[in-house]
């Protein structure tokens, strides 16, 4: 588990990644310390919070195959929005269930794990049916295999850590209050959080919270070989678990659908109603199949998912569609204040876009189905 991961008091220097990787190499590769000429370091596409490096031990000899690991270097200022100890703990749980590659090492400003071979998904790939069906199946795998939490009482749910609720509250508390404008904005967002708690948690029985990925944007999906050449559905694996947390499955799915628009927030790319229905049906059927295989075919679940189940989850996801904009808007507001510029990303602009998504949903929820809809709301409602 997490306590078994070696720790090295080393600060990875992204400006001299090869030298830093060589210093960490004895802990990264099964064959021990490679020579300087054997190490290859490739900078991968940077995310909005970290720098990623693929490090290869390119052994010599006719039968030798490169051994690859991934080094993740934390972005400056991210400790306010990301609990790294929680990340390591949940990564260890995921690895135990074969849902994540094995952790290899922690160091002062990052960690390393086995490299997951495959191709990173693009924003455009998300609309490819063979890919989104593979993503739906991997979601089902996570939610069927990993532990769930059933707390029942809303106050207990909001206080539970880690979860989207306690994280959102922590981010709210971390918002700056140096100016009157900041204090007013923080007060407004605090009131909206209370509204979300009442709206999402105050309406009767609810499903247990799942241990979700929490941030399934395109770059966190790795495409591997096809599961079954007869049906052509892609094998999708998830990476980067820094925002993994307990959440309603409706949030997990609504959050992923929101990520179809990419960091540019191109709402024309949102999945339509018919695509979301098909995705949810694929997800539920895969979830059923995994549970039935685990418990035996004599279990209580029917062999096929019913339309009533699909409709219920669809309604739950629709109800949660505004929360991701609020959640990531808070996160980006904090990063806009804390960022030192080591990651080239417009956090303030992104915060505005995501919070506008929330306000569009909030306005529509107040006005009802006949209210003026934003482009995002229009696309979400499209058949």
Site of tokens 């529509």: 364
Q: What is the pLDDT of residue 62?
A: 45
Q: Specify the number of domains making up the chain.
A: 2
The Cα 352–Cα 18 span in angstroms is 38
Q: DSSP letter string over 104-149?
A: EEEETTEEEEE---SEEPPTGGGG-HHHHHHHHHHHHHHHHHS--B
Q: DSSP letter string over 306-345?
A: -HHHHHHHHHHHHHTTTHHHHHHHHHHHHHHHH--SSS--
Does residue 178 lie in a domain region? yes
Residues 91 and 139 in one domain: no
Residues 257 and 351 in one domain: yes
Residues 18 and 125 in one domain: no
Q: What is the pLDDT of residue 48?
A: 74
Q: Cα-Cα-Cα-Cα dihedral of 320, 50, 96, 282, to 10°?
A: 40
Residue numbers in the chain where pLDDT is lower than 70: 1-3, 32, 35-36, 45-47, 59-65, 204-205, 226-230, 297-301, 340-342, 364-373
Residues 93 and 212 in one domain: no
Q: What is the pLDDT of residue 206?
A: 77
Q: What is the pLDDT of residue 377?
A: 94
The conformation of residue 52, written as its DSSP 8-state character, comes to E
The Cα 183–Cα 178 span in angstroms is 7
Does residue 222 lie in a domain region? yes
**315 alpha-carbon distance from chain centroid:** 22
Q: What is the pLDDT of residue 61?
A: 45
Q: What is the pLDDT of residue 285?
A: 97
The Cα 97–Cα 294 span in angstroms is 14
Residues 155 and 50 in one domain: no
* Neighbour count for residue 100 (Cβ, 10 Å): 23
User: Residue 18 sits in which domain range?
Assistant: 6-114
The Cα 31–Cα 57 span in angstroms is 9
The Cα 318–Cα 376 span in angstroms is 13
CATH of residue 38: 3.30.200.20
Q: What is the pLDDT of residue 1?
A: 55
> Strand 103-107 to strand 7-8: parallel, antiparallel, or no bridges (unpaired)?
parallel
Residues 10 and 110 in one domain: yes
Q: What is the pLDDT of residue 205?
A: 66
Residues 126 and 258 in one domain: yes
Q: What is the pLDDT of residue 10?
A: 96
Sign of CA dihedral 350, 356, 358, 361: negative
Q: Which has the closest alpha carbon to 145: 286, 2, 280?
A: 286
Residues 107 and 134 in one domain: no
Residues 103 and 144 in one domain: no
Q: What are phi and psi of 135, to 5 degrees?
A: -65, -45
Q: What is the pLDDT of residue 153?
A: 81
Token output for 167: 């994280």
Q: Which has the closest alpha carbon to 170: 358, 330, 340, 320?
A: 330
Residues 133 and 109 in one domain: no
Q: What are phi and psi of 50, to 5 degrees?
A: -140, 165
Rg (CA), the chain: 22
Q: What is the pTM of this model?
A: 0.92
Q: What is the pLDDT of residue 299?
A: 58
Residues 301 and 194 in one domain: yes
Q: What is the pLDDT of residue 16?
A: 94
Residues 32 and 91 in one domain: yes
Q: What is the pLDDT of residue 112?
A: 98
Does residue 1 lie in a domain region? no
């Amino acid at each position: 588990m997490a306590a078994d991961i070696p720790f090295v008091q080393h600060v990875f220097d992204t400006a001299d990644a090869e030298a830093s990787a060589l210093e960490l190499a004895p802990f990264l590769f099964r064959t021990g310390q490679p020579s300087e000429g054997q190490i290859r370091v490739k900078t991968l596409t940077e995310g909005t919070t970290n720098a990623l490096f693929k490090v290869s031990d390119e052994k010599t000899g006719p039968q030798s195959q490169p051994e690859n690991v991934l080094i993740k270097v934390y972005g400056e200022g991210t400790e306010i929005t990301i609990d790294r100890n929680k990340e390591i703990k949940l990564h260890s749980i995921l690895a135990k269930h074969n849902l994540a590659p094995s952790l290899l090492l922690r160091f002062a400003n990052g960690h390393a794990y086995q490299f997951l071979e495959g191709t990173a998904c693009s924003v455009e790939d998300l609309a490819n049916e063979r890919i989104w069906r593979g993503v739906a199946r991997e979601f089902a795998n996570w939610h069927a295999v990993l532990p769930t939490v059933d707390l029942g009482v809303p106050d207990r749910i909001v206080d539970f850590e880690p979860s989207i609720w306690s994280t959102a509250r922590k981010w709210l508390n971390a918002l700056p209050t140096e100016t009157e404008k900041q204090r007013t904005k923080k007060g407004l967002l605090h009131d909206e959080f209370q509204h979300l708690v009442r709206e999402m948690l105050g309406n009767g029985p609810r499903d247990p919270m799942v241990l979700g990925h929490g941030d399934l944007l395109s770059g966190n999906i790795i495409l591997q070989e096809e599961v079954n050449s007869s049906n052509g559905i892609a094998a999708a694996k998830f990476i980067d678990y820094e925002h993994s947390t307990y959440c309603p499955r409706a949030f997990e799915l609504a959050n992923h659908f929101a990520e179809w628009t990419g960091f540019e927030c191109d709402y024309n790319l949102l999945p339509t109603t018919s695509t979301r229905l098909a995705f949810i049906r694929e997800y539920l059927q895969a979830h059923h199949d995994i549970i039935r295989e685990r418990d035996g075919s004599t279990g209580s679940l029917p062999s096929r998912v019913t339309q009533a189940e699909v409709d219920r989850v669809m309604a739950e996801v629709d109800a949660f569609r505004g929360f991701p904009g609020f959640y990531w808007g808070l996160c980006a507001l904090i990063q806009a204040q804390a960022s030192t510029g080591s990651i080239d990303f417009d956090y303030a602009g992104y915060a505005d876009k995501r919070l506008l998504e929330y306000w569009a949903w909030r306005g529509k929820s107040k006005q009802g189905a006949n209210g003026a809809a934003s482009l995002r709301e229009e696309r979400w409602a499209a058949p």
